[in-house]
Amino acid sequence: MVSVNNFSISFNETKILENINFEVFPGEIVTLLGKSGCGKTTILRAIAGLQKEHQGSICIGDACVSSEDVFEQNREVGYIFQDYALFPHLNVEENIAFALDKLSRKDKEKRVNELLTQFDILSHREKQIHQLSGGQQQRVAIARAMANNPKILLLDEPFANLDSQLRYKTKMWLKNLIKKFNLSAILVTHDKKEALSISDKIGIIEDKKLLQFADAKDIYHNPENFYIANFLSDINVLSNEVIEKFDLQINDNQIATALIEKCNITTNKNEFELEIIDESFCGEYYEVVVKLIAYTSNNTIMLKLKTTDFKENQKYYLALEKEDIKIVLR
């Protein structure tokens, strides 16, 4: 288990993170999600022992490995960097062997062969790094990170350099690998879809704080505030005028929201007559912007529709159920 306790860090006089707390159990994938520059990678570096100066503590199992008074280098951690950090002057097997400097030559050769086979790169063993595709380079980086049988796997934007199809395949393959070896895995990304699809738990970082840390489904369906709701999903903000029609009330510290996919269009007459403002073709769906005709504040709504066969003289109305309205803190 990895335990990060009251973790805070500053660079010179600039506070980067304050009082970060979370745990990662064996076989669990935790994603730290937030905008670029919010401090996600700094946490990974501290867990790996690459960032020594910080407040609070980092524990692996029952042992504190990093605090103001303790710094333990042997952490059984594998780190996969965003740019893979492979050595261009070494071939594939030499890159993997580089992580095995403490083994004898015979044991090193045996372990390298195991990893080349396991990660399906045996036929590329003598190739230089520039001769590999992005996906193959990533497998080499993962093989090197796994060489010493780590208990913890740290992944910094691991899919950023892959195209969408390869990203999906690699993500599922890596997820199965983490589960198979019962690793504690911490992944850093700013891609919400990626985080939701691979994670057991997600932590949202913003303005130096860990705003919420919860199961992936729970944090999606029950965000603690508007920032998290808006960051994780596409939402519409509903005005007081609208939610009063649903017999709902909010105070000044709350915002009423609805997922865009929960907002639809109907020809059945109700209190929310619409004016079609704009429509855009987006491949599998259309983005449609509508205006609530009878309402003056926050009256623009975004819809995602499969078709836009609007008839000129037809009146259209907003279709939204009361149970699909979520009230969150500002």
Look at strands 300-305 and 286-292 and give their pairing.
antiparallel
Q: State the Cα–Cα distance between residues 80 and 96, nearest whole angstrom.
A: 13
pLDDT for 6 equals 98
DSSP bridge pairs for 164: none
Q: Which has the minimum average pLDDT: 155-169, 208-222, 233-247?
A: 155-169
Q: What is the pTM of this model?
A: 0.89
pLDDT exceeds cutoff 80 at 297: no
Burial 289-326, CB ≥16 within 10 A → b, else e: ebebeebeebbebebbeeeeeeeeeeebbbbbeeeebb
Q: State the Cα–Cα distance between residues 146 and 22, nearest whole angstrom.
A: 24
Establish how many alpha carbons lie within 13 A of residue 273's alpha carbon, considering only the half-sphere containing its beta carbon. Answer: 5
For the beta sheet containing 254-259, the strands, ordered from the edge strand earlier in sequence to the opposite edge, are 235-238, 254-259, 325-329
pLDDT for 158 equals 86
Confidence grade of residue 202 (pLDDT, cut at 50, 70, 90) = very high
For residue 104, what are its two tokens?
A: 């004898």
Three-state secondary structure call for residue 242: helix
Q: Hey, what amino acid is at 240?
A: N
Name which CATH class applies to 2-230: alpha beta
Q: Tell me: the pLDDT tens digits for 104-127?
A: 999 999 999 999 998 889 999 999
Q: Tell me: the pLDDT tens digits for 223-264?
A: 999 999 999 999 999 999 999 999 999 999 999 999 999 999
Q: State the Cα–Cα distance between residues 85 and 156, nearest whole angstrom.
A: 11
Q: What percentage of the chain's residues is helix, strand, coil (to nearest 5)?
A: 30, 35, 35
pLDDT for 266 equals 96
pLDDT for 216 equals 96
Secondary structure letter of residue 175 according to DSSP: H
Q: Tell me: the pLDDT tens digits for 121-159?
A: 999 999 999 999 988 998 999 999 999 999 999 999 888
For residue 325, what are its two tokens?
A: 């309205």
pLDDT exceeds cutoff 80 at 298: no
Q: State the Cα–Cα distance between residues 61 and 59, nearest whole angstrom.
A: 6
Per-domain residue ranges of the chain: 2-230, 234-329
Across the range 153-174, mean pLDDT stands at 86
pLDDT for 264 equals 96
Q: Tell me: the pLDDT tens digits for 45-82?
A: 999 999 999 999 999 999 999 999 999 988 899 999 88
Question: What integer best gives the mean pLDDT of the chain?
Answer: 93
CA 92, distance to chain mean position in Å, is 29
For residue 262, what are its two tokens?
A: 């929960």
Across the range 163-168, mean pLDDT stands at 82
Comparing 322 with 102, which gets the higher pLDDT?
A: 322
